[in-house]
Amino acid sequence: MGIFSFLKKLGKKKEIEEIVAEKLALSEIESWLEKKEEENKIKEKDILVVVKDKIENFNADLRTKIIILNEFDVESRKVENKIKEVVINSRLLYIAEVNDLMAKLENLKETKFSDFSKKIDKIFFDFGKASSKNYERTTILIGKEMANMKEVFKTFSKDLLEIFNNNKEISELFQKIEFIKLKLSLLNPIDGDMIGIKDMLTSLNEKINQKEKENKILLDEIEKIKQSENYKNMLEKKEKISVLKEESKSNIFALKQIIDFKALANFFHINEEQMGILKNHKENFHANFEKDDGRMIMDLIDEAKLSNSAILEKVNLIRTKIEETSNYQKGIEEDETLKLYPKIKETVAEVGDLKIKKMKEEKRDEKLKANKEELISSLKQELDKMNVEII
């Protein structure tokens, strides 16, 4: 089978593949690519066999032309010896370059079509650069034989160029496959991260539910305590204490109004210590009276002989209220709900932290989903060029 028949046959296969569009699931793409890559490697191998056959034929033609070139009798030409010498030396150098070219072509070991074509291009580029001057000098006396040599190069170059142009899709397909594989490889970590996020969200939801249950238990416990008789009694006592304190406050204020601070000041005006006590009581009577149940101010009143029945009655009433308040306070049991509120606060804070973490994970999941969709869209576009539809 000739080279062009072979290429024609490959072209027909490609034509059939382009007509038939395959529908594949995303999970099937990787194995499909492997199969496609193996098929392309077979095509690549067949093309390389053809190219190497061309190289063998090319080298055989060159060896024949070299024999003819070597046998050409330069000495018989009627030109100056100097010109003969230039031609003979140029012929030797040109033939050496051709032999070097053939050796390089025979030693080509590349198995990839793209690498093979690049290497051949370089070999011929280097040969053209190294041999052009000697070729031109040799043609001074050896025209026809050199033209025949050139024709061999021209025919080989034309054949190779046609092979490379007609089969460049082999290299392009490898590039497409590698690109799609890269895209697929980026999907796997995303899927792994999304699975990790899903597990994390499950764990966070469980922790949130657990903490909310703990919180409800604490709230139920508080409600249970509040419904108990002991708690209700405690509230009644606190309410009574509050009433007693307000009554004491009102009575202390009333006491201040019936005390003659001016007369007391006139009596103690030369005594700095007593005047200090009077000043403090006048400015903040309630606080200073409560400090010592009014003993200091009553001592001053008694010393100044300014006490009367109204003052004594108020003082006794106030002291009775204070004592009554103290008795109620002693009888108040500890509020058991106060121990639970810090725990509720702590639990609520933990739930808040967990929900923030959950929100961050959800945003991360949304971003990964967007990245995945973008990758899949890109994959669909690339696979569409290969007549493959992701379903």
CA 210 from chain centre, in angstroms, equals 30
pLDDT digits (tens, 9 = 90+) for 17-76: 445 668 888 888 888 888 888 888 888 888 888 888 999 999 999 999 999 999 998 888
The domain that holds 202 is classified in CATH as 1.10.287
**255 shares a domain with 140:** no
**351 shares a domain with 238:** yes
Residue 324 lies in a domain: yes
Say if CB 301 and CB 311 are below 8 A apart.
yes
Q: How far apart are the first and last CA of the chain?
A: 41
**196 shares a domain with 325:** yes
For Cα atoms 350, 356, 361, give the angle at the middle one, nearest 5 degrees: 125
Alpha helices in the chain (DSSP H): 3-19, 29-71, 81-106, 113-138, 143-166, 168-226, 229-258, 261-267, 272-283, 285-292, 295-303, 309-331, 337-384
Last residue of a domain, one of 113, 142, 166: 166
Residue 212 lies in a domain: yes
**376 shares a domain with 229:** yes
pTM for this model (two decimals): 0.55
Asked if residue 391 has pLDDT above 80, the reply is: no
Distance in angstroms (rounded) separating the CA atoms of residues 69 and 90: 12
**133 shares a domain with 115:** yes
Last residue of a domain, one of 120, 136, 166: 166
Residue 295 lies in a domain: no
Q: How many domains does the chain have?
A: 2
Alpha helices in 139-167 (DSSP H): 143-166
pLDDT digits (tens, 9 = 90+) for 186-229: 888 998 999 999 999 999 999 999 999 999 999 999 999 889 88
